[in-house]
Chains A and B, each alone.
Chain A
Amino acid sequence: MAKQLPAHRGRSYKIKKNLFSNWQLYIFLLPVVSYFFIFHYIPMYGVQIAFKDYFANLGIWGSPWVGFEHFERFFSSYYFWRLLKNTLVLNLYMLVLFPLPIILALAFNELRNGAYKKWTQTLTYAPHFISVVVVVGMLVAFLDPNTGLINHLIRALGMEPIPFLTSPDWFRHIFVWSGQWQTLGWSTIIYLAALAGVNPELHEAAKVDGATRLQRIFRINIPSIMPTIVVLFILNIGNFMQIGFEKVLLMQNTLNSETSDIIQTFVYETGILQGQYSFAAAVGLFESAINIVLLITVNQIARKVSENSLW
């Protein structure tokens, strides 16, 4: 004990010294910390209503506990497997397309002509600024079986019009690819920034050694931005299960619900529209649980494979 005491004192002394000498830095940190605390941690106490039978007049704390009743009801619901499957498949589909913006960024990076490069970039960014409601409106207008542009083309080619919006087979493709159309250009920005940081000397040396453009892309560009790719991939997984549910909701109808019914729209319907708060909270919590498991797994794998990870 006697031996440890000085060391201990030394350490806390160090922390204190650190605090006092850098107090300005901690003040800078304060707004962010309080933001997270107030808006992200305090509301968490509400999660308990997933295990309660929420009565508005009793409040969150006063409502009676019911244990896992709401979870059991969800797991035994007829639509459980469909909801889970649709949510997972839709997310996987989007995840598979993760390399697209990287490819596009690499392509942009090869463009030498300044004006042309800027022009194409701006063009691909533009759809990012259209609101979801408008995008779905455009989809409905273009894909309408009677009056839609696409179906006019299909008919002109002598084929039967396709009921895109009411067909469960088409829903995922339309959802994912219209999303890509909207965000592809925007997502390239961060990779372009990373590519701009690649040391030009490497390229020059490779040129001297006689490397082709493709070789330089694969041997220099891609390895240089690998850390960015891995981090973004993990961040993407962090958003897994959180599809922009407004768009799904807007595109949903009884005929495509076989593939368009996802957990988030279900939470919205039961929670907000039907007022079953406890049940909806339980479903939402289940979704978050899957999310955490995925995030930790992917992070773990990334650390092993590439030595890049979030923590």
Chain B
Amino acid sequence: MKVKRLLLILLLIGFVTALSACNNDDEGGGDGGDSGGGDDATAASEDVNESGMPIVDEEQELTFFANKPAQNEDNDWNDILIWNEYRDQTNINVNWDLVSPDALEENRNLALGSGDLPDAFFLSQLTSSDLLRYGGQDVFLPLNDLIEQYAPNLTALMEEDPSIRKALTFPDGNIYSMPALIEEDFLSLRLSARPWVNEDWLDELGMEIPETTGEFYEYLKAVKELDPVGGGKTIPYGGTQIQELVQWLAGSFGVMNQGPSNMNYDLDASGEVRNFAITDEYKQMLEYINKLYEEGLIDQSIFTIEWGQFLANASDNLYGSMIFYDPIELFGEDIGSQYSSVAALEGPEGHQTYNKLSSSVWDPANLVITSENSNPAATVRWMDHFYSDEGAELYYMGVEGETFEIEDGEAVYKDHILNPEGDITFEQALAKQLTWLGSINGIIKADYFQGGETAPQSMEAAEKIEPFVPEEIWPRFTFTDEENIVLQSTGQDINNYIEEMRDKFITGDEDLANWDNYVDTLNQMGLEEVVEVHQNAYNRYTEN
């Protein structure tokens, strides 16, 4: 008893002192940080050259939090050709705080939540609600004026294509990030994974490349019956996630007509924003996919399959069709060359567009500058270089003579990258000197890019798809504070419910006869309010 009481007293005393100590620390730290940041920002703007290189005369250190894509596993950005070269050019030495994609969201949120901030977030996939929330809290700096003054390349691009500025501007008029862009005409990259069918099997079946949803079904069915692999192991359609198939077929059923950036929202015939997941067209699409799934034409393990297993199956040549990147680069010449690309299928109601296309504003938050940054102007200039031709060449091709050479006016990687010695692949050789694999930085242009998307097979696929691409693809909208609250609660529940039910309808776990029930549930959850939020965001987007 005595020990207990003593303990209790000790604990209480300690607890109270700790509380007050924390309190003081927090207040002191917070105030100091804020005012410090403000002073630095104004003072530092003077320490930057308005144009030309180097950006600063005296070498500066900056810390960037960055997502390090899986393909870069073995390299260290703190000592690698590309960043050493850019440091020498600019006099800005970036200390890279690298995080693997698996832990990205966690680490990013922990850094933001704890207030332990880097000078900038680079390629960190910050969401627009994060940008607004932390922008409003002065954790992220508004960049409007800085971009105006120090980012001539980005400004020029925004003038050329006003949708870029629209995609970046928040309802409060601020811009908190510099984007990663894809050149608008570089369709092959904007398509990411695209549809393929096995042409050898088509020949064997005496069929043509499918052009309608009906023909696609017939092809899958015929493949299953033919069973070229033997033992019933042939998989007519396989993939790593069902979503790719759904998004591809959306264009054949007339939904998702503004691209995939805003989840389940697009425009109806009268130009109003709608949630297309409750439309009859969407239901029709689910019926179609459900038929494929129930007849065993879609890989039954598509909901749980892992990337590695998918690649292994593909290398065993089990798939009759898939939606994926360049087959030759990923599965090798033997198997990859069997595949031929498919464009958009014509649906039962005559819809035939290819809606699974990302906006040319690939990621609004390529670079975000925090209040800790001692020289925001220099940081903006640092980033802006990658929107220029020289910058794009540097980032995607490297240094002339070291990683690439000009042949017939075209930049081509040197032999030690294209045909590396020993047991390493092209990607591994590339990752020793460059870091663009798995992430788009600045602007990516077909002229300065040599990855899977510019491989001949992929370019051919893109050309085939081009006539079916819709006129306008929305970037991700920006929302106000109040709207974000709705989206994070009701909106999130609704998105989860739609996704869950989509998969259940497809597998037949939920009978499509219960469709009305599903629509009613969504309405009860508060769908109307969420649609209205998107309508407002869309109105602002068009007015901006």
Q: A residues touching B (Cβ–Cβ < 8 Å)?
A: 15, 18-19, 29, 33, 37, 41-42, 45, 54-62, 73, 77-79, 140, 144-147, 161, 163, 165-168, 253-255, 257-258, 272-277
Q: B residues touching A (Cβ–Cβ < 8 Å)?
A: 2-3, 6-7, 10-11, 14-15, 18-19, 22-23, 26-27, 29-30, 33-34, 105-106, 109-110, 112-115, 130, 133-134, 137-139, 233, 235, 299-301, 303-306, 309, 371, 488-489, 492-493, 496-497, 499-500, 502-504, 507, 509, 525
Cross-chain contact A15 with B139 (CB below 8 angstroms): no
Cross-chain contact B493 with A79 (CB below 8 angstroms): yes
Q: Which of A41, A78, A144, A257 is within 8 Å of B15, CB to CB?
A: A41
Cross-chain contact A255 with B303 (CB below 8 angstroms): yes
* Other 9 A-B pairs with CB < 8 A, given A254-B499, A255-B500: A37-B11, A45-B18, A45-B19, A57-B115, A61-B23, A146-B235, A166-B507, A257-B496, A258-B500
Q: Which of B23, B33, B304, B504 is within 8 Å of A140, CB to CB?
A: B304
Nearest CB on B from A275, distance (A): 4
A258 to B18, CA, bound (A): 43
List the B side residues contacting A77 at CB < 8 Å.
489, 493
What are 21 A-B residue pairs whose CB atoms fall within 8 Å in the complex? Answer: A19-B6, A37-B11, A41-B11, A41-B14, A42-B18, A57-B33, A57-B34, A57-B371, A59-B26, A61-B23, A73-B489, A146-B301, A147-B301, A165-B304, A253-B303, A254-B502, A255-B503, A255-B509, A258-B500, A272-B106, A273-B109
A277 to B133, CA, bound (A): 13
Residue in A closest to B521 when the chains form the complex, CB atoms: A78
List the A side residues contacting B106 at CB < 8 Å.
272-273
Residue in B closest to A15 when the chains form the complex, CB atoms: B2
A276 to B492, CA, bound (A): 12
Assuming A45-B22, A166-B304, is B509 touching A62 (CB within 8 A)? no
List the A side residues contacting B301 at CB < 8 Å.
144-147
Nearest CB on A from B509, distance (A): 6
List the B side residues contacting A147 at CB < 8 Å.
301, 309
The CB with the most chain B CB atoms within 10 A, among A73, A77, A163, A254, is that of A254
List the B side residues contacting A19 at CB < 8 Å.
6
List the B side residues contacting A54 at CB < 8 Å.
113
List the B side residues contacting A57 at CB < 8 Å.
30, 33-34, 115, 137-139, 371
List the A side residues contacting B306 at CB < 8 Å.
140
List the A side residues contacting B299 at CB < 8 Å.
146
Assuming A61-B22, A62-B30, A272-B105, is B300 touching A146 (CB within 8 A)? yes
A145 to B133, CA, bound (A): 44
Nearest CB on A from B137, distance (A): 5
A226 to B205, CA, bound (A): 72
Cross-chain contact B115 with A56 (CB below 8 angstroms): yes
List the A side residues contacting B10 at CB < 8 Å.
33, 37
Cross-chain contact A56 with B139 (CB below 8 angstroms): yes
A15 to B6, CA, bound (A): 10
Nearest CB on B from A276, distance (A): 6
List the A side residues contacting B493 at CB < 8 Å.
77-79
List the B side residues contacting A273 at CB < 8 Å.
105-106, 109
Cross-chain contact B503 with A254 (CB below 8 angstroms): yes
List the B side residues contacting A79 at CB < 8 Å.
493, 496
A306 to B539, CA, bound (A): 69
A223 to B328, CA, bound (A): 70
Nearest CB on A from B94, distance (A): 23
Cross-chain contact A255 with B488 (CB below 8 angstroms): no
Q: Which of B110, B139, B497 is within 8 Å of A78, CB to CB?
A: B497
A73 to B503, CA, bound (A): 27
List the A side residues contacting B509 at CB < 8 Å.
167-168, 255
The CB with the most chain A CB atoms within 10 A, among B10, B110, B133, B492, is that of B492
A54 to B137, CA, bound (A): 11
Assuming A56-B115, A78-B525, is B304 touching A144 (CB within 8 A)? yes
List the A side residues contacting B139 at CB < 8 Å.
56-57
Assuming A140-B306, A144-B301, is B500 touching A257 (CB within 8 A)? yes
Nearest CB on A from B243, distance (A): 10
Cross-chain contact A145 with B300 (CB below 8 angstroms): yes
Residue in A closest to B30 when the chains form the complex, CB atoms: A59
Nearest CB on B from A162, distance (A): 11
A308 to B500, CA, bound (A): 47
Q: Which of A45, A56, A59, A73 is within 8 Å of B112, CB to CB?
A: A56
Residue in A closest to B115 when the chains form the complex, CB atoms: A56
Residue in A closest to B107 when the chains form the complex, CB atoms: A272
Cross-chain contact A56 with B27 (CB below 8 angstroms): no
A177 to B509, CA, bound (A): 24
List the A side residues contacting B29 at CB < 8 Å.
59
A275 to B109, CA, bound (A): 6
List the A side residues contacting B138 at CB < 8 Å.
57
List the B side residues contacting A61 at CB < 8 Å.
22-23, 26-27
List the B side residues contacting A272 at CB < 8 Å.
105-106, 109-110
Nearest CB on B from A56, distance (A): 5
A166 to B299, CA, bound (A): 13
A29 to B3, CA, bound (A): 10
List the B side residues contacting A253 at CB < 8 Å.
303-304
Cross-chain contact A276 with B304 (CB below 8 angstroms): no
List the B side residues contacting A33 at CB < 8 Å.
7, 10-11
Cross-chain contact A254 with B304 (CB below 8 angstroms): no
Assuming A56-B139, A57-B138, A273-B106, is B300 touching A163 (CB within 8 A)? yes
Residue in B closest to A19 when the chains form the complex, CB atoms: B6
Assuming A15-B2, A78-B493, A146-B300, is B23 touching A56 (CB within 8 A)? no
List the A side residues contacting B133 at CB < 8 Å.
275
Q: Which of A29, A62, A255 is within 8 Å of B504, CB to CB?
A: A255
Residue in B closest to A49 when the chains form the complex, CB atoms: B113
